[in-house]
Structure 1
Amino acid sequence: MSGAGGTTSARLLIHASGDIPVDTPRVPAREAAKHELSKPMYHENDPDLLHRGLNRIWNWISDLLDTASGSAPGGPLGLVVLVLAALGLITALWWRLGTPRRTVRSADALFDDSARSAAEHRATAEAHAAARRWNEAVQERMRAIVRSLEERALLVPRPGRTAREAAAEAARPLPSQAARLHAAAREFDDVTYGDRTANQQAYRDMSALDLDLETTKPLLTPAARGAAE
């Protein structure tokens, strides 16, 4: 059998046996392989859509960290130092400024529906302080301050008044105590609406203001009298 004849006979035998010919063109072969690999049996263990998304996010974060560590002074160790410094700065600012305050609404009224005297609010505040419940003590002492100013006719009783509004109105007849009144109102709002925690010193400051207001002579200017009427 000659070489050319042998090759022709081998190809005919391959075709006759039903096997894939060895000289299949490239494009049909690629399409056949793609069709074969698209069968479900080859994808039973593939990750689902959620895991694919998480893998992409993690790969993105990993690439970002690799890029940052390559450009940061000191490499990966320098990047860790920079991240820790940034976290420390954020923590310090959060501690100093506290939780971002919400816009004061009319629902943030200083008093509830019960009408208690300044003496009753003071007694409740002292009871909370004795139990070291400083948030409640600060709140009740602020209410005692405002109720006392209402009892002295320096503030007109008004439902729905907020601590800040009371401080602004009381500062007119009591300008020497304006800064302390506003600070007390901020303290009240912080512990009531800002998720801050008061301490013993905050209550002492509030109590001292309450006592000092009792002996502070009001400045009854025309503007101050108009605010109290």
Structure 2
Amino acid sequence: MRTGGLIVTGTTVLLPGAETPPLTTPRDAAREAAERELAKRAYHQDDPGLFERALDRFWEWIGGLLDSASASTPGGGYGVLAVVVLVVLLVAALWWRLGTPRRTATSAGILFDDGLRSAADHRTAAEAHAAAGRWTEAVQERMRALVRSLEERTLLDPRPGRTADEAAAEAAVSLPGHADDLRAAARTFDDVTYGGRTADPDAYARLRTLDLTLERTKPLLTGPTA
């Protein structure tokens, strides 16, 4: 309203010719309007995704653990680094020693997983694999040939599900002079079949020699004396 030469706006008095003040918005309404505006998709196109946020939280958690460990470990950060290096070396040593697990322990070492074949069939397959440089398959087939040959000579009873270790232990009863070689052969079979190891020409040569040697070995039919 105008009073004399003055303009009165609410509780504010303006001199004549002064600019009219801008409209004001209540604080709560202004905050709500700002929140609605900032919630629009255009403002969040470059925000990190859920995976990136989770990864950031994970690294923050790791950083917190390392900070706590360095505060309580002798030597601080260097002590934590030494512990981490020792753990990595231990894991690497176990991995090298045990190899990559391929199957569960219940199936480890099972020799025959296909139809019945003769020792001659397994030997032929082993030689074919060896000629092609497939040493893992050659070792597997030669071990099967060895065990099948003992079954054909009735030194072992044919039994489905027999493991390489069981075959070696049972064969050692009638072939005690080759007990160590039989155990080594079974261990080689398990390593390359279920332990993630790769066979080589030497491993195959040892198994082939053992197979041919056992063919010429006279068994101890009554078993070892007490």
State if a TM-score over 0.5 links the two structures: yes
Contact 1:173 1:218 in 2 (8 A): yes
| 1:196 counterpart SS class | coil
Name the one with the larger helix percent: 1
Distance 1:112 1:17 in 2: 90
Distance 1:62 1:152, change over 3 A: same
C-alpha root-mean-square deviation of aligned residues, in Å?
3.5
Contact 1:190 1:196 in 2 (8 A): yes
Equivalent residue for 2:36, pick from 31, 35, 39: 39
Deviates more, 1:77-86 or 1:190-199: 77-86
Once the two structures are superposed, what CA deviation does each residue of 1:142-182 show, in whole Å capped at 9, x if it has no partner? Answer: 01111211121101223443323322322222233233223
Distance 2:51 2:108 in 1: 45
Contact 2:108 2:194 in 1 (8 A): no
Distance 1:135 1:56 in 2: 45
Distance 2:148 2:172 in 1: 15
Q: Does 1:96 align with 2:92?
A: no
Distance 1:39 1:20, change over 3 A: closer
| 1:210 counterpart SS class | helix
User: Aligned residues: percent identity?
Assistant: 54
2:152 maps to which residue? 151
Distance 1:50 1:11, change over 3 A: farther
Distance 1:175 1:57 in 2: 58
Shift of 1:62: 2.5
Contact 2:109 2:164 in 1 (8 A): no
The code of the aligned residue for 1:172 comes to V
Once the two structures are superposed, what CA deviation does each residue of 1:60-84 show, in whole Å capped at 9, x if it has no partner? Answer: 1233334445555655555445433
The normalised TM-score by structure 2 is 0.70
2:4 maps to which residue? none
1:198 maps to which residue? 199
Shift of 1:139: 0.8
The code of the aligned residue for 2:12 comes to L
Distance 1:137 1:126 in 2: 7
The code of the aligned residue for 1:137 comes to A
Distance 2:109 2:130 in 1: 26
Distance 2:100 2:63 in 1: 32
Q: Does 1:19 align with 2:24?
A: yes
Q: Does 1:167 align with 2:168?
A: yes
| 1:112 counterpart SS class | coil
Unaligned runs of 5+ in 1: 1-8, 22-28, 224-229
| 2:115 counterpart SS class | coil
1:59 maps to which residue? 60
The normalised TM-score by structure 1 is 0.70
Distance 1:174 1:34 in 2: 91
2:123 maps to which residue? 122
1:216 maps to which residue? 217
Distance 1:49 1:40 in 2: 22
Distance 2:113 2:72 in 1: 57
Unaligned runs of 5+ in 2: 1-7, 14-20
Distance 1:82 1:129 in 2: 45
